[in-house]
């Protein structure tokens, strides 16, 4: 039977949120609660149609479920998109959103994402305990997860270290800048680009070379780290990639599995962005939900998972993204009744 929805409805919660006074229009998708409460950022942008926003939030929430499972977290995936429009009172809208998140009683833990500012998160946090507002901590953790994944990839490539490699970073916002800082500390050379020139120029203090945004994907680098929006590597852009390793710090950097297979066929090592970008959710959930004062073991386990994904991809000929998805759901399906609390019916 045909459906009016541009995505499957196999989700735990799918909430359309509105607040007349502030103009809030948002969609909150909780994808999976089997392993624990759901985690995922708040994205703010204008959408041509509500259907486009719904399709994006569904895909992003499923991606967060995969990321949490691969990271070994007691959490599932979720996402919120706020539909930006001229009639929205932004501070009031995010306060209203915070109220809706609080009503979920801890089933959903939120943080920032593309288009959402620190002021937005602070406004939401006025109404809820379940918004992580310490963005530098989360961004720094992504820098750590990218560095660890790159070490695994270079060891696999030629047995070499990260130090001395040249890494291209597309996008120099909070995440990209944190990745740049961590890789600089590890001894890597940097080539960076951003559609906002000032953000890229600020990284010259790390010795970074700045190139035009349209040139970064084709830059002569050892590794490429997309740290902006998803879908940047597609059938048109991927053939021009010269890097020997690609590791996503943003969500969904590959436009499809066929792109990953084509790059792999050229000998490019692809680290799924579900692994490369996992640091933020590991930091946030590891602390707020799992109560871990030291998240180092999570990062060490991430390296082993990266090796497992790359090994399986080589053995099967599948794209690493496809292998990562299958491994994530193998882990979720292996949860026995009683291994995790019934978060779907849980409240403090």
Enter the tokens of residue 154.
């270079």
Which residues 6+ apart lie within 8 Å of 328 measured at CB?
65, 66, 67, 69, 70, 274
Residue 79 bears catalytic tag:
yes
Maximum separation of any 2 CA atoms in the chain, in Å: 59
Catalytic choice (25, 62, 79, 127): 79
Burial 160-185 (b: 16+ CB within 10 A, else e): eebeebebbbbbbbbbbbbbbbbbbe
3-state secondary structure of 109: strand
Q: Return the beta strands (E) in the chain as ranges.
A: 13-19, 24-30, 38-45, 76-83, 108-112, 166-170, 189-193, 209-210, 223-226, 245-247, 269-271
DSSP string over 130-158: -B---HHHHHHHHHHHHHHHHHHHHHHHH
3-state secondary structure of 192: strand
Enter the tokens of residue 181.
């800082």
Q: Catalytic residues, which ones? A: 79
């Amino acid at each position: 039977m045909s459906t009016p929805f541009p995505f499957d409805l196999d989700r735990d919660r799918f909430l359309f949120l509105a607040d007349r006074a502030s103009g809030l229009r948002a969609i909150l998708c909780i994808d999976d609660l089997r392993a624990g409460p759901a985690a995922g950022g708040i994205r703010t942008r204008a959408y041509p149609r509500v259907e486009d926003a719904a399709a994006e939030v569904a895909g992003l929430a499923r991606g967060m479920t995969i990321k949490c499972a691969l990271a070994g977290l007691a959490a599932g995936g979720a996402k919120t998109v706020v539909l930006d429009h001229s009639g929205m009172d932004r501070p009031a809208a995010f306060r209203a959103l915070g109220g809706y998140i609080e009503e979920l009683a801890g089933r959903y833990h939120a943080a920032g994402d593309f288009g959402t500012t620190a002021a937005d998160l602070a406004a939401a946090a006025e109404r809820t305990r379940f918004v992580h507002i310490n963005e530098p901590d989360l961004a720094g953790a992504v820098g750590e997860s990218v560095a660890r994944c790159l070490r695994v990839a270079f060891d696999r490539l030629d047995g070499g270290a990260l130090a001395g490699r040249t890494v291209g970073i597309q996008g120099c916002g909070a995440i990209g800048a944190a990745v740049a800082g961590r890789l600089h500390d590890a001894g890597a050379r940097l080539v960076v680009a951003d559609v906002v020139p000032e953000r890229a120029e600020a990284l010259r203090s790390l010795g970074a070379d700045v190139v035009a945004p349209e040139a970064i994907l084709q830059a002569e680098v050892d590794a490429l780290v997309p740290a902006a929006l998803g879908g940047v590597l597609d059938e048109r852009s991927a053939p021009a990639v010269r890097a020997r390793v690609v590791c996503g710090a943003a969500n969904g950097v590959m436009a499809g599995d066929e792109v990953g297979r084509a790059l792999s066929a050229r000998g490019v090592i692809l680290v799924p962005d579900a692994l490369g970008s996992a640091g933020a959710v590991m930091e946030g959930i590891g602390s707020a939900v799992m109560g871990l004062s030291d998240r180092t073991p999570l990062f060490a386990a991430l390296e082993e998972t990266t090796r497992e994904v790359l090994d399986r991809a080589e053995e099967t000929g599948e794209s690493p993204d496809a292998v990562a998805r299958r491994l994530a759901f193998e882990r979720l399906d292996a949860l026995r009744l009683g291994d995790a609390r019934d978060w779907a019916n849980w409240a403090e």
